[in-house]
Structure 1
């Protein structure tokens, strides 16, 4: 009873705001990371339902809707507490003093304390440098493109490490619970260079599946934007698929295909099949209409 209420009352809207149109279609369409977050939220709501439902309830769905926000927030704080992260990150006075009271550095310190308890990763980086660079520009009003927020992160870490026990408990410990970030492709190194990773923590199939999910999301976003602008559905679908999954050559449906005729050109064969294109267009339109 809980999971459909949580999905429609919380998850669906959050996925749209995150820019995940496919995840906002249904629970079955949720990507792996989004599905994990959804399961965490459902578990948190079930926990609160069992704890609070001490009297007969006439309309359980409506009653659950009323506690979704508080239940999921409390669940998030419990999960942070389980890994040792601060449940309500605040900058202690000694940290504010150590940063000289700089408003941006203090704000960044709170962001870092919040980040270490968040299960998501920043790709191959420890910290989400790009998003914090944009945050710094908005916070300080300094839009100088040469600004590197890495220096600010190191400045905050130096002050935090001065309290070794505090740092290990609230920063280093929770940070160690994050999944190991793995690059999609191993960096190319000269022969004999020992910097190349000796072991990949995910197999090729999982890595390719992750890449294709991201590519499909970008393709769907491009199609949705162009369709809502009034462009011809068949042309939009064929062009986006050719660029995203083919050899990059854009087909012309009226004047004949311009894609290569190589034996392995599976995408090209699909785009030359008008029946397949009609089926794909229908599927895309159904998804767009649901958003």
Structure 2
């Protein structure tokens, strides 16, 4: 990180604490925007997009933002942009930027996602109408599939070998892809009973989809799952991203049970970042560790640094006070 970039991040934090970000000119925001993106990138992936990728069945993409395939990359960038723009236009006083972003990113991303869907004609909140339910014979599976179709047409990208993600839907139902495709056709026939509705809310949004050059890493037929990393450092980064999400959930659970906050944070950090399960050691040379583990170990063994670390982690877990 260059000295100029460090200064920009420091300036971003100062303006946030003063509640002045929303009072800047667009030119001043342009100067701060790269720092805001760097600060928000991993947080937005952890609290927003990892779950999105998993819900779509894109398990390779869910490993970390460095592993996102083309079908997910645009969506992640859209979510990240939405969070950064809300940050740079807020007049709220923010004492801890990371905690503020973590607490508000899901809501910002959802709002932006719905606006993007609305802009291309896709239903912002897919729902089952009375006429469509009747046209489907009130069949529970076909009604659920109709909602999946309405959701899918508003998702950017995602067009691959087939127009619809029938493999995923087949797995949800426990049927073959060909059977799922036949069910999709049944739903589409029912939807076409309202030609204008079908054109506006299905055909038009589908026209905005773009076919990726290649699928998500590890998602193609015959590709290993999980995809072997090309670089050990990428594996360590992905592992740290996953552990951070697990740590926040574990600490929240401990606090919810009334456990001592400081002891809970220390225990979770030691167990996850130092002890682990052993699976992450596969592929490393015997006795080899990572610089990250060494830094975490040093922080946990330093009473003063540990106290500061616990306070910071608790601010992130609990979110902003106001």
Aligned to 1:270: none
Counterparts of 1:111 and 1:12, CA distance in 2: 19
Aligned to 1:150: 181
Counterpart pick for 1:3 among 23, 31, 41: 41
Aligned to 1:85: 122
Between 1:56-65 and 1:98-107, the stretch displaced more is: 56-65
Post-superposition offset of 1:96: 0.8
Higher helix fraction: Structure 1 or Structure 2?
2
SS in 1 for 2:228: helix
Q: Is the CA contact (8 Å cut-off) linking 1:85 and 1:116 kept in structure 2?
A: yes
> 1:34-90 CA deviation, whole Å, 9 max, x = no partner?
432321111111233245x22322222222221111111111111111211000001
Post-superposition offset of 1:23: 4.5
Two-structure CA RMSD over aligned residues (Å)? 3.9
Give TM-score scaled by structure 1 length.
Answer: 0.57
Post-superposition offset of 1:111: 0.9
SS in 2 for 1:79: helix
Structure 1 pair 149–14 and aligned structure 2 pair: CA distance change class (3 A) = closer
Aligned to 2:149: 112
Give TM-score scaled by structure 2 length.
Answer: 0.52
> 1:258-281 CA deviation, whole Å, 9 max, x = no partner?
xxxxxxxxxxxxxxxxxxxxxx86
Structure 2: unaligned runs, 5 residues or longer: 1-35, 236-276, 294-322
Q: Is the CA contact (8 Å cut-off) linking 2:154 and 2:206 kept in structure 1?
A: yes
Aligned to 2:310: none
> Which protein, 1 or 2, shows the higher relative CO under an 8 Å CA cutoff with sep ≥ 6?
2
Counterpart pick for 2:164 among 127, 136, 148: 127
Between 1:42-51 and 1:159-168, the stretch displaced more is: 42-51
Equivalences for residues 228-243 of structure 1 within 5 A: none
Post-superposition offset of 1:109: 0.8
Mapped pair 1:42 → 2:80: yes
Q: Is the CA contact (8 Å cut-off) linking 1:23 and 1:31 kept in structure 2?
A: no
Aligned to 1:220: 228
> 1:130-152 CA deviation, whole Å, 9 max, x = no partner?
21122223xxxxx6x69712222
Equivalences for residues 260-271 of structure 1 within 5 A: none
Equivalences for residues 1-291 of structure 1 within 5 A: 1=36, 2-11=40-49, 18-20=58-60, 23-24=63-64, 27-51=65-89, 53-137=90-174, 148-180=179-211, 215=223, 218-220=226-228
> 1:107-158 CA deviation, whole Å, 9 max, x = no partner?
1111111111112425211111121122223xxxxx6x69712222111111
Aligned length: 204
> 1:229-264 CA deviation, whole Å, 9 max, x = no partner?
87995xxx6xxxxxxxxxxxxxxxxxxxxxxxxxxx
Post-superposition offset of 1:12: 5.4
Q: Is the CA contact (8 Å cut-off) linking 1:86 and 1:117 kept in structure 2?
A: yes
Counterparts of 2:50 and 2:177, CA distance in 1: 38
Structure 1 pair 64–212 and aligned structure 2 pair: CA distance change class (3 A) = closer
Aligned to 2:317: none
Q: Which one has the largest radius of gyration?
A: 1
Post-superposition offset of 1:161: 0.8
Post-superposition offset of 1:21: 7.4
Post-superposition offset of 1:212: 9.0
Q: Is the CA contact (8 Å cut-off) linking 1:15 and 1:23 kept in structure 2?
A: no
